[in-house]
Structure 1
Amino acid sequence: MNGMGVRGTVEQVLALAPDEASRRAGSALGAAGPWSATGAADGVVWGRCEGGGRTPYRTVVDTRRPSYDCTCPSRKAPCKHALGLLLLWAGDGAAVPDGAEPPDWAARPARGPAGPADPEAARRRAERRAARVTAGAEELERRLADLVRGGLAAAGQQGYGLWEETAARMVDAQAPGLAGRVRELGAIPGSGPGWPVRLLEECALTHLLGRAWLAADRLPAPLAATVRTRVGFPSAASGTPVRDRWLVLAQYDTGDGRLTTRRIWLYGTDGGRTALLLSFGAAGRAPALALPVGAVVDGELTPHAGAGQLRAEPGEPLVPVAGPAGPPPGGPVGAALDAYGRALREDPWLDSWPVTLARVVPARAEYGWQLADADGREALPLTGGDRSRPGLWRLLALSGGAPVTVFGECGHRGFTPLAAWSPDAPAETVPLL
């Protein structure tokens, strides 16, 4: 997207939605079912979508400008049909064939070659969105101040509705990152013993993010980029491309009913860099990118901007290469905690950080399972709940009481194991999630 006339990602398409309702409705239309006569050529995408009337709606998107043309009665730009068409194009190339001959209605209005993007118009759009986000951040600051003045105990009596209303206002302000944090706040009251402490911690982090946005022009450039991403602006792969032979450490999916997010962790066997690939699937569809855990692939990755960010994008298809690879260099539990602490200095809103633990033993503790240094000095509690239970049994079987190497995500809630290696087979990656 971004006026480039190229196939965008699901994340980029959803960022175009004018509000949360359009995002939900567009996601529901991101499957092939209601669409016919679809195609794409020279940055123009078209299709016919079955709707409530007798005649399908005709939808045309020029991704180079971008501009949207649909015969539906909606006055939003883009409408839900344009969003659904772009999601279909982003997620299923076979459903929207490239290089097709556009029908007459898709050539209307006469488009001709796309002219250069208007930088002044883009600047005005960016300023309008920044102003809306600023207004949303200021409103959220007032909401948090009222909460603290009224006492955290009162939050348990207010119910979730007030939080959802506040989250909806953040969505209207085009700050989906703030909206997500507000929804997390709303889920904490009454969630179990100690919830007021957890609510205070999350309020502090949300307050920090709001204040950081309001002072973003005075922050160092990498931290300002991180704040923009945390608020909800899409990040871009803009760093120096890195070519390496990448070991696939882990792959797992999470979802919220509307969007499935796939996380793939890679380790550069030559350069020693850890990278995270994100792939998205809308409306119940699996993300397109999939890599087998334990495989080694060759290719070029371009990192995203931001302080402490590991996310990257492949600049070309990643090609499998022969030969297994051993685990990344690891260390004790204390070194993993130090690494997470350093990462927090760059991005205070990090939930976790990728680390490799060497010579650790899974053991049962009073509060649950943990990974402890073989010498017994330090230990980390395991997280993940029932979803990671099968992986725990695999980890126990792999260890058999002996030290193993484990890769995972270390955060304030503990350690989520994602892959492991035994001393007897150091080149065999065992997935745990």
Structure 2
Amino acid sequence: MEQQGEIWTAEQVLALAPDAASRKAGARLAEPGPWSDAGAGDGALWGLCEGSGGTRYRTVVDTTGPAFACGCPSRKFPCKHALALSLLWAGGAVPTTGAEPPRWANEWLTARRNRAEPAANAAVSPASSESHRATANADAARRRAQARARRIAAGASELEQRLEDMLLSGLASMERAGYGPWDETAARMVDAQAPGLAARVRELGSVPASGPDWPARLLEELALLHLLDEGFLGIERLPAPLAATVRSRVGLNTDAAEVLSGPDTTTIRDRWLVLGQQDREDGRLTARRIWMRGERTGRMALHLSFSGPDRPLDLALPPGLVLDADLAYYPGARPLRAALGERRAPTASGGVPQGGGVDAALAAYGDALRDDPWLDAWPVVLADVVPIPGRGSGDWQLADADGESALPLDPRWSGRCSRWQLASISGGEPVTVFGECGHRGFTPLTVWDPEPVSL
């Protein structure tokens, strides 16, 4: 398995898709049924996918590139078959074989890599061979990381030029342009292996249709995107925590195993109260977010996991449970995401969490934003707040019981039923609510009555 290298996550695979249609089509094909003779090994994936009319498309992926080849007529790159095969691999459904790839795959891989097999190693002792292999794998991983960093830097430079051209032509033209320019630019960032940049660019397409004052909002988002570009292009001059944040924002993710066992890893043992759990679907994939807070440390933590076809979510922790466990935070200027380590005791039921008022929530978000300017929201617990209905989805508020301060609810949050559900649980009386506080408002996730209720 060492020869295969790090297995991609489903999120990383989907970030390589050229568009939303390819992501959905790839996710639909990511099941064993249409595939045969699939295998993985030596930095490659291969398989035959049953197409229309009985045609079997030869699909091969060089995971060291990455690079893709397929016999289908699609002009998209990567095509849905390459995405589906990669998703199957990410879900553990592609067996790692000790055999050579089939001839048709091996020919493409050899031409692609433009290298010959090493000279005979029969005379090398097993111990030295293993040491040589480990060194070679480390060198190869370093070269791949350097190559990807160069591609991302080239993409960031191209994006900077596109942003400059856009500003010179005027933001007013973007209202008539629609999503086309944004989707095309996002595709270029996918080619540069910068899924984080691609995602931020795609989101900009909806800003011109977001109502009055959209040019100001678009300019704000463009400024943040410019800051992220410049941060990556000058990353060697940044403090280590901020550099880690920039890497994660452009899409360079750290593997959970590395977070838990890396040389600089520090695990934190605490009794972690589960504050909220939320599943979000993207095609046939589901992302699960679990928020926790340490009883002793008071630190917030976010556990993130993904599922795909034939790959169930690995962890379910309903709000209100307490977990005695080790967590290790992913590196960053304001760490939040964490990997779950050893669990030392069975889960137990916790009580109503302690929280603060609206001003404390805004201060917590402001402190986090100071360290990570690209942060959309920060998890907080609001205590003794009352839901205040409004005429529209953007008019609802959560107000302190004394009426001194209030937070607007994020208008994008859920549907009208959830807002009225929150109001009915409160009954006009103060409640404790957990959610995310951001520049668009507050998103409720759990309310205590006195038991936790997910919204």
Q: Which residue of 2 aligns with 1:402?
A: 429
SS in 1 for 2:397: strand
Task: State the 1:329 CA deviation.
Answer: 2.6
What does 1:101-250 correspond to in 2, within 5 Å? 115-116=133-134, 117-237=136-256, 238=259, 239-250=265-276
Match of 1:299 among 325, 337, 340: 325
- Cα distance in 2 for partners of 1:103, 1:121 equals 20
SS in 1 for 2:349: coil
What does 1:293-332 correspond to in 2, within 5 Å? 293-315=319-341, 321=346, 323-332=348-357
SS in 1 for 2:173: helix
> Which segment is superposed worse, 271-280 or 344-353?
271-280
The runs of 5 or more residues in structure 2 that have no matched partner are 107-116, 122-128, 260-264
Q: Which amino acid aligns with 1:324?
A: S
- Cα distance in 2 for partners of 1:431, 1:297 equals 18
The runs of 5 or more residues in structure 1 that have no matched partner are none
- Cα distance in 2 for partners of 1:160, 1:9 equals 28
TM-score by length of 2: 0.77
**Alignment deviations for residues 285-331 of structure 1 (CA, whole Å, 9 cap, x no partner):** 87454332333334332211111131112235x68835321243311
Given that 2:433 and 2:445 are in contact with CA atoms closer than 8 Å, whether structure 1 keeps it comes out as yes
Q: Which residue of 1 aligns with 2:34?
A: 34
Q: Which residue of 2 aligns with 1:334?
A: 359
SS in 2 for 1:315: strand
Return closer, same or farther for 1:397/1:77 CA change in 2, 3 Å cut-off.
closer
Identity of aligned residues (%): 57
SS in 1 for 2:320: coil
Q: Which amino acid aligns with 1:235?
A: T
Superposition RMSD in Å: 4.1
TM-score by length of 1: 0.81
Return closer, same or farther for 1:331/1:140 CA change in 2, 3 Å cut-off.
same
Given that 1:266 and 1:275 are in contact with CA atoms closer than 8 Å, whether structure 2 keeps it comes out as yes
- Cα distance in 2 for partners of 1:140, 1:240 equals 36
What does 1:22-101 correspond to in 2, within 5 Å? 24=23, 26-36=26-36, 49-51=49-51, 84-91=84-91
Return closer, same or farther for 1:165/1:122 CA change in 2, 3 Å cut-off.
same
Given that 1:359 and 1:404 are in contact with CA atoms closer than 8 Å, whether structure 2 keeps it comes out as yes
Q: Which amino acid aligns with 2:247?
A: R
Q: Which has the higher helix share?
A: 2
Q: Which amino acid aligns with 1:414?
A: G
Q: Which residue of 2 aligns with 1:343?
A: 368
Given that 1:11 and 1:234 are in contact with CA atoms closer than 8 Å, whether structure 2 keeps it comes out as no
> Which segment is superposed worse, 335-344 or 288-297?
288-297
- Cα distance in 1 for partners of 2:9, 2:340 equals 12
Return closer, same or farther for 1:223/1:292 CA change in 2, 3 Å cut-off.
same
Task: State the 1:19 CA deviation.
Answer: 6.4
Task: State the 1:379 CA deviation.
Answer: 0.5
- Cα distance in 2 for partners of 1:190, 1:58 equals 42
- Cα distance in 2 for partners of 1:163, 1:8 equals 26
Task: State the 1:205 CA deviation.
Answer: 0.9
Given that 1:13 and 1:86 are in contact with CA atoms closer than 8 Å, whether structure 2 keeps it comes out as yes
Q: Which residue of 1 aligns with 2:452?
A: 429
- Cα distance in 2 for partners of 1:147, 1:298 equals 52
Return closer, same or farther for 1:227/1:77 CA change in 2, 3 Å cut-off.
same
**Alignment deviations for residues 74-133 of structure 1 (CA, whole Å, 9 cap, x no partner):** 9x9998666534523543x6x5689xxx69777998999972143333333222222221
Task: State the 1:381 CA deviation.
Answer: 0.5
Task: State the 1:269 CA deviation.
Answer: 3.2
Match of 2:377 among 346, 352, 356: 352
> Which segment is superposed worse, 221-230 or 150-159?
150-159
**Alignment deviations for residues 212-234 of structure 1 (CA, whole Å, 9 cap, x no partner):** 11111111111111111111112
